[in-house]
Amino acid sequence: MSAVLGSLIAVLGTLLGSFSTYVFQQRTAARTEASARAERLRLEHLAACSGFAAAVTELKRAVVTAWLRRSDPVELGLALAEADRLGALAETARVRLQLVSGQPEPLADTAFARLDALRGAVDVTELKSHEAEFAAALAAFITAAAERLSASHRAVP
């Protein structure tokens, strides 16, 4: 009888050990998966932020080029076509950023809106002033994005 009782205790101990191992492995796997998902989202957000910053910077360059070539109709036409193409890419990058972040991006919208002022500059001094405003708006976006990305990196378990 004691041999049966000993065997029963051994079997129950083995089952309890197997079950507890299973539970701990499931928790570890779920935590690892959540951490990996959070890191993938952070990297996607980083790519969207940097893609937007690059696209809007290229658009600024094209807008300034068009402004500088406004006295030559042929050169202006080519520069405006390039600015239009880059404007579409920047708008796409802005939409992607909003989709990835899942929230409005007012600092990105501000930087994007500053480009309109560049087009309407009446002289080089005003153009440079608008360029500085654009640079400040873009820097504010980059700073806020870096802080948000850094915070999300610290939050990853």
Q: Give the CATH number, domain containing residue 145.
A: 1.20.120
User: Does residue 149 belong to any structural domain of this protein?
Assistant: yes
User: Does residue 68 belong to any structural domain of this protein?
Assistant: yes
| Confidence grade of residue 154 (pLDDT, cut at 50, 70, 90) | low
Alpha-carbon gap, residue 65 to 77, rounded angstroms = 11
pLDDT at 110: 95
pLDDT at 127: 95
Whole-prediction pTM: 0.79
In 3D space, the residue among 87, 84, 85, 90 whose CA is nearest the CA of residue 54 turns out to be: 90
Instruction: Tell me the CA end-to-end span of the chain in Å, nearest whole number.
Output: 51
pLDDT at 153: 61
Structural domains counted in the chain: 1
- Please return the burial class of 59, using the count of CB atoms within 10 Å of its CB with bins 0-12, 13-18 and 19+: buried
User: Does residue 17 belong to any structural domain of this protein?
Assistant: no
Q: Please name the residues in contact with 99: beta carbons below 8 A apart, sequence gap of 6 or more.
A: 48
User: Does residue 101 belong to any structural domain of this protein?
Assistant: yes
User: Does residue 14 belong to any structural domain of this protein?
Assistant: no
Residue 155 reports pLDDT greater than 80: no
User: Does residue 143 belong to any structural domain of this protein?
Assistant: yes
Query: Which residues constitute the domain of residue 93?
Result: 38-155
Are the C-beta atoms of 41 and 155 separated by less than 8 Å?
A: no
Alpha-carbon gap, residue 89 to 106, rounded angstroms = 18
pLDDT digits (tens, 9 = 90+) for 105-146: 999 999 999 998 998 899 999 999 999 999 999 999 999 999
pLDDT at 149: 86
Alpha-carbon gap, residue 71 to 63, rounded angstroms = 14
Are the C-beta atoms of 112 and 98 separated by less than 8 Å?
A: no
Kindly state the average pLDDT of the residues 25-48. Answer: 86
User: Does residue 148 belong to any structural domain of this protein?
Assistant: yes
